[in-house]
A and B are shown apart, each in its own frame.
Chain A
C-alpha cells in the first residue's frame, strides 16, 4: 500500500497555496504509507536557468562551499539554496551536463533527486508530516505538484527508495502498487545504457518511461506502452514541466479518485485526501478508468 496525491492548478490565484494544499493532502495519506514521503513541486522556470535538487546524509560538510567550487569548475555562476538534507543548485541552462559531471567529481556521495528547469523533488525516510516540515513544503508556491507516502514492499526503506523518481528533465513518477517483472526489465534497460541506481521496482518504471521517450515516444505514448510492457499492479501519476498524467493497470485494484473544478485537477488515492480542497463539494469527482491514460497540460 502507498498513498499518492497530485494537484494541477488552473487558477493562478491558488499558486501561492500549492505547497500548503499538497502538504495537507499528503499528511492525510499517512496511514497508507508511513515509512517515507516525497514531493515534487513545479515552480515557474527562470529563462536560461536550470536546477538540480541534491541530497546528502552529510549535508553540512558536502554543501559547504559547493556553489563556489562548482562555479569555478564551470566558469559560470552557480547558487546553492539549502533545505535540511537537500539543496537546490541553480546554474545556466546550457551547463546542465557539465554541472552534473562536476558534481559527481567534486562530491561523489551527493545524490541527485531531480534535474530540470522547474522541478524540485524533496524526499526522505520518515512520517509525511515530518518530511514536509523539514523541507517547509507548505511555504512553496508552484503550478502543480505530486506527493507520495510509501509503505515499502519491493525494496529497502531508504531516501533513494522513496518516491517521486525523476525520470528525465522535469519529469517524475510516483507509484502505488508493485511490479513483478522489474528485475528482467532492469537488466534490459541497463544494457540499453539507462541509468538505474536502486533495486526499487518503481525506479525501473521511471527508467522505462525515460528510455521510451529517449527512443522518440511522447509521454502519452510511453504511458500507453507501459500498459503492455510492465507486469504488475500500478497506479502511476507522472509530472512534466507543464502537466500531469495518470494511468492505472488493467486490473485497477490500486485505488484512485480524481476531482476537477475550474480552479484545479486533483488526484488522491482516496477521497479523504481531497476533502480540504477549496470547492470540493461542487467538484466533478470520479474514479479514473483502468488501462486509460489521462493527461492535463497548462
Chain B
C-alpha cells in the first residue's frame, strides 16, 4: 500500500503518479491523505489500481476514469466520476451536482444522497445511489442504468433517450417524455445484479422502472430493447 500526502506533495504530482501506473503495476493500492476538498483528485487514471481518498473532495474527483477503483471516504463535490469510461467509483458520503455526468461505462456507487443533475447525459455508466437524488437527474440520458434506493426530485429523466431508471421511493415529477414502464423479468434480473454490485439492502420488486416514451427524439426501431 502506497500513501500519498496531497497537502504535502500537491495535485499535479498526485495525478502524474497515478496516471503513470501501468496495467502490470505492483503498486496497486494507494491511500491519498489530506484531500481537504481539493479539485480533480485522481483523474484520468488508466490502470487496475485501487485508490482510497481519505476525506471529502471538491470538483471533478475521479473524472475520465478507466479501469481503476476510486473510493472516496467522505463526500464528493460537483462532477464526481464525470465522463467515466470503466472501473468503479465509490462515494461513502453524499455527492454534489452532476455526479456521473456523461459517463460511458463503469459503475458509480453513492452511499449517501446525490444532488441535482445526477447522471446527466449518461452514455452507458451504471449509477447506484443508496439515498435520494435531486432535480433534473438523468437529463438526456442516453444509455446505462440509474438505480435510486431513495427518492428522485423534479423532472426525472427529462428528454430521456434509452437509459433505464429504477427508483424505489417517490418521484417528485417526471420530465418531458419520461414515463413509468412495466418491470419485466429481465429488468428484475438486471436490477438484482445492480443492487448486489452496489451493496444495496433492497429488493428489485420494491422498485419502479422509468424510461423514454420515445415521442420526443427521432426514434429508430433499432434502439428498442
Q: Which residues of A contact B (CB under 8 A)?
A: 250-253, 255, 257, 270-275, 285-287, 290
Give the Cβ gap from B132 to chain A, nearest Cβ, in Å: 11
**A-side interface mostly:** loop
Beta-carbon nearest neighbor of B115 in chain A: A287
Q: Which of B24-58 contact A (CB under 8 A)?
A: 36-38, 56-58
**Which residues on the B side are within 8 Å of A252 (C-beta)?**
97, 115-116, 134-135
Q: Given known contacts A255-B77, A270-B58, A285-B56, is B116 in contact with A275 (CB within 8 Å)?
A: no
Check A253 against B97 for contact (C-beta < 8 Å): yes
Residue B78 at the chain A interface, CB threshold 8 Å: yes
Q: Which of B105-138 contact A (CB under 8 A)?
A: 115-116, 134-135
Check A271 against B58 for contact (C-beta < 8 Å): yes
Residue B94 at the chain A interface, CB threshold 8 Å: yes
Residue picked from A257, A273, A274, most chain B C-beta under 10 Å: A257
Complexed CA–CA distance, A8 and B59 (Å) = 25
Contact indicator per residue, chain B 48-77, by CB within 8 Å of chain A (1) or not (0)? 000000001111000000000000000101
**B-side interface mostly:** loop
Beta-carbon nearest neighbor of A272 in chain B: B37
- Looking at chain B, what size class is its interface with the partner chain? 10 to 19
With beta carbons under 8 angstroms apart, the residue of B58, B75, B134 that contacts A272 is B58
Beta-carbon nearest neighbor of A254 in chain B: B97
Give the Cβ gap from B194 to chain A, nearest Cβ, in Å: 25
With beta carbons under 8 angstroms apart, the residue of A272, A274, A287 that contacts B38 is A272
With beta carbons under 8 angstroms apart, the residue of B77, B97, B115, B135 that contacts A271 is B77
Check B56 against A270 for contact (C-beta < 8 Å): no
Q: Given known contacts A255-B77, A255-B78, is B134 in contact with A290 (CB within 8 Å)?
A: yes
**Which residues on the A side are within 8 Å of B97 (C-beta)?**
252-253, 255
**Which residues on the A side are within 8 Å of B94 (C-beta)?**
285-287
Complexed CA–CA distance, A252 and B58 (Å) = 17
Q: Given known contacts A271-B58, A272-B58, is B36 in contact with A287 (CB within 8 Å)?
A: no
